[in-house]
């Protein structure tokens, strides 16, 4: 099977507000915008199994990892993301390493992340080793202590 895939390209995340998401991933998580594109109609309708597609896609990168932020002008995304639990099938979360979990939590909260305080776990006293925050559209982001 290794000969089938030449290279992993990216993971896509659908967002409700492109500028807000770019600001969050750039300013709070250190991603860099590398490119963007806008597409409408065919062949995107066929590829995405949607009709009357109007899509703005922005590619962002950090440490060789690439995310594609997707905003649909048409068809519009639901007003609210569906409620998902970590054990739901499919993509569950993005994980990043941080030098200090508590400092990262405070900084991310200042940047607009929703902090899931009950998920904070500590080891060796009160030193946090992991916790979850959520991006502006509710995607869980796991912060883990860099070792």
Cα dihedral 55/61/64/67 (nearest 10): -40
Q: Specify the CATH number of the domain 11-74.
A: 3.10.180.10
Check residue 112 and give its pLDDT: 82
Kindly tell me if the per-residue pLDDT of 101 is higher than 90: yes
Kindly tell me if the per-residue pLDDT of 142 is higher than 90: yes
pTM for the model: 0.89
CB 136 within 8 A of CB 15: yes
Q: State the fold for domain 94-145.
A: 2,3-Dihydroxybiphenyl 1,2-Dioxygenase; domain 1 (3.10.180)
Give the start-to-end residue ranges of the domains of the chain. 11-74, 94-145
Cα distance between residue 126 and residue 52, in whole Å: 52
């Amino acid at each position: 099977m290794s000969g089938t895939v030449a290279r992993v390209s990216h993971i896509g995340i659908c967002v409700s507000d492109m500028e807000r998401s770019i600001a969050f991933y750039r300013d709070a998580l250190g991603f860099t915008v590398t490119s963007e594109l806008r597409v409408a109609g065919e062949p995107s309708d066929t590829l995405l199994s949607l009709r009357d597609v109007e899509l703005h896609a922005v590619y962002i990168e950090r440490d060789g990892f690439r995310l594609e932020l997707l905003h649909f002008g048409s068809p519009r995304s639901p007003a609210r993301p569906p409620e998902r639990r970590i054990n739901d099938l499919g993509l569950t979360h993005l994980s990043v390493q941080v030098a200090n979990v508590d400092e990262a939590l405070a900084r991310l909260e200042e940047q607009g992340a929703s902090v899931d305080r009950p998920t904070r776990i500590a080891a060796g006293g009160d030193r946090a080793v992991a916790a979850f925050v959520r991006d502006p559209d509710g995607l869980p982001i796991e912060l883990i202590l860099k070792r």
